[in-house]
A and B are shown apart, each in its own frame.
Chain A
Amino acid sequence: MSTSFAEYAWLVPVFPLAAFAILTAMGKGARKTGPWIGIIGTLASLVLSLCIAFERMTDNADDYSKSIEWLQVGSLKLSAGFEVTNLTSLMLVVVTLVSFLVNVYSQGYMRDDDRISTFFAYVALFTSSMLGLVLSDNLLTFYIFWELVGVCSFLLVGFWYHKPEAKAAAKKAFIVTRIGDLGLLIALLLLFWYMPDHALDFTTIHNVFSTPGGVISVGITTLIALLIFVGAVGKSGQFPLHTWLPDAMEGPTPISALIHAATMVAAGVFLVARTFPIFEASDAAMTTVAVIGAFTAIFAASIGLAQNDIKRILAYSTVSQLGYMMLALGVGSVSAAMFHLFTHAFFKALLFLGAGSVIHGAHTQDIREMGGLGKTMKITAWTFGIGALALSGIPPFAGFWSKDAILAAALDKNGILFAVGAIAAFFTALYMARLYFLVFAGKPKQDGHAHESPSVMTVPLIVLAILSVVAGFVDTPFKGWLGEWLTGEAPEHHGSGIVMVVSVAVGLLGIYIGWLVYVKGTVRRDAVSSRAPALVRTLERKYYIDELYDLLIVKPLRSFGKALQAFDDYIVDGVVRLAGYSTSALGRLNSRLQSGQVQTYALTALIGIVILALAIAGRRFW
């Protein structure tokens, strides 16, 4: 093949970008056509991505990369380019597919919104940036798109700008992730100055850090790795920068599905995977990643137990699942992480879109106000169920396989990590069961307003549900090729039976308990809250993390700002004013001297000359 699809990979982000440009140019006039433009743009990308992916799967082609000089300063060159590897082609497919489905879904979901064309424009811009991020061949370009997706996320979270909560959430989303971005930026600067030839492209990074006893000392490597990880923590909502992600649910639900479940939040995982050699070169970094990942997994899952907002539960679940991915990376299994990313993208998108459908039908987000929706919203209920099972890690759904891979990798490394993962899996199953049973089972709590969503919304649900079932089979312990395809190494499946058994067991146990509580009613719902109200409240309030940050960071910073402001007003400017005042005071003194009394004038002069003479001549004679 003389030309491959990979050479045209740069077109993948260009389609949605063009859609964005057209939509922006059309402005408000695109209410009808706008969604179609967005859909067509992403569809084109999807098609091209699929072509690229299939090409790579079949040909086993070499990585293809191409870059242009973006900026040259003296002898230093900064370039921009794209690279197609198996990893990126996989991500391309995930992103374009979810994006396409979300586009389709949104056409229905956002139908009544005034600013629907703006919405599609933002989504197109996001898709384009996300694809750019995926395709980037070097860290600088990556960083640029990294920030752009952040902005799109911000724009979309704050899409309903008139809602104060949306405004706050958007702000929070941007600022908290920015903390992570800072880490990435500093890592970028460090890399720039430490890398030979100031190279920033992933290939060189890979080569440099893979070389044992490399040119960069372990200390610096750890520092760089940790800083990159800070970036990933911010973007992927890991503890302690996870707080923005649940709040980001203020955005329209399709956005939650696209950005805050399937794609953008996974960028952190993708980043670590992309720069994995740096982490591998530092044990400390790896341990940190694993610990943070595991902790986040269980921490977020536990919060998820006590939430009542359907989207928030899913959000905490996302955080938790991202923690799993980090855990996988931390224990050294890129393939497991990417596998989970891959499957998670589908079932979490499915769950969110399903939740969107529920909200669309039930007009509320509080699961306590829902119930019995399974009867009126059959498709939604079924697909949501599939998603929930996938998330809970029940075989044969996709989530089972990928979670299993992670747990296996964790067990291989450290028993505690595995235990934590397993407990988190139990929590996951429990809160998903709670969610599902409360929403779809039982009696309807509303006056029958709920109705099934239009097909434009349900079709994507069905597609995603299918994917959630089948996606796991690309890499099962029995027959897997994804790992090898991705990492180029032979799959080393530690898939022991124990792991599988444990993971299925905790999953089922969780569901069973959920069934007991929320369907059967054997256990009273307030069984825990009546015995340990403090615990439940702590969970409900998300361990008071937000309050803690407010107290420890936001308030002191604000006071510090006020103090600095006072310093500026009274000290810095005060000195200036003082200089002014003292000059005019001298002037006033002069006015006082000009009392009208001529004799005083002469006296002043006399004293002046005496002092002058004594001072100047006196030096000589005494």
Chain B
Amino acid sequence: MFNFNIDFSGEFFAFFSLAICAIVGAVLAINFTKVVHIVMSLAFTFVALAGLYILLNAEFVAFVQVLLYVGAVTILMIFGIMMTKHDGEGQEPARPLLETLAAIGCICLFGILFFAIRNADFPTEVAPLPDDNTRAIGLELFSRYAVPFELISVLLTVAFIGAVALAKREEDPQ
């Protein structure tokens, strides 16, 4: 079943290098112990993913990815790190049972996924996507996906209000 019938095209080469980056970033993140390192390596993965999106003709999404993840989420996390103390850093207590079981679970899950992916029978020809990626997305968003779009605005508002409400310090009642 492991018949990797790989067509070494240019796209594949690009994919392969970006994929390596993404995986390396992710795996490093898992192995690092210092939080900042972890954040940075994950940011690296996010960027690699943005590259993959471009490969997949999703330029707008790639742009948003960089903006949102590298720009917003990572920064948010770094703020978080700065606001909290990390005394115990670098000395993760060994939880061998948890880690072993987690590894087994994840590997099994991956096995199942991989098996299903290998078994799937995908069409080979690829229909072209609209050229003007951004515009097409915009049109769809405001027509067919208008309801979720509106909802997501509510969601963001709520998240914003909520985050503020939670994070702000209450003044002393007196």
Contact = CB atoms under 8 A, between A and B. Distances in A.
A606 B106 CA distance: 8
Interface in B57-102: 98, 101-102
B58 to A, nearest CB: 30
Contacts of A606: 102, 105-106, 109
A603 B102 CA distance: 6
B98 A610 contact: no
A610 B108 contact: yes
Interface string A595-622: 0000110010011011001100100010
A318 B102 CA distance: 91
A610 B102 contact: no
B10 to A, nearest CB: 36
A607 B98 contact: no
Nearest to B101: A603
Contact of B98 (A600, A613, A617, A621): A600
A606 B101 CA distance: 10
Contacts of B109: 606, 609-610
A621 B106 CA distance: 20
Interface of A is mostly: helix
B119 to A, nearest CB: 8
Interface of B is mostly: helix
A599 B101 contact: no
A606 to B, nearest CB: 4
* Contact-residue bracket for chain B: under 10
Contacts of A609: 109
Contacts of A621: 115
A610 B105 CA distance: 7
A597 to B, nearest CB: 8
A278 to B, nearest CB: 82
A594 to B, nearest CB: 15
* Contact-residue bracket for chain A: 10 to 19
Given A610-B112, A613-B112, A599 B105 contact: no
A606 B110 CA distance: 12
A607 B112 contact: no
Nearest to B102: A603
Interface in A528-543: none
Contacts of A617: 112
Contacts of A600: 98
A614 B108 contact: yes
Contacts of A599: 98, 102
Contacts of B115: 621
Interface in B97-151: 98, 101-102, 105-106, 108-109, 112, 115
Interface string A562-605: 00000000000000000000000000000000000001100100
A614 B107 CA distance: 13
A617 B102 CA distance: 21
Nearest to B108: A610
A610 B113 CA distance: 11
Nearest to B115: A621
A621 B98 CA distance: 29
A416 to B, nearest CB: 90
20 contacts: A599-B98, A599-B102, A600-B98, A603-B101, A603-B102, A603-B105, A606-B102, A606-B105, A606-B106, A606-B109, A607-B101, A607-B105, A609-B109, A610-B105, A610-B108, A610-B112, A613-B112, A614-B112, A617-B112, A621-B115
Q: Which 10 A-B pairs have the closest CB atoms?
A: A606-B105, A610-B108, A607-B105, A603-B102, A610-B105, A603-B101, A613-B112, A610-B109, A603-B98, A603-B105
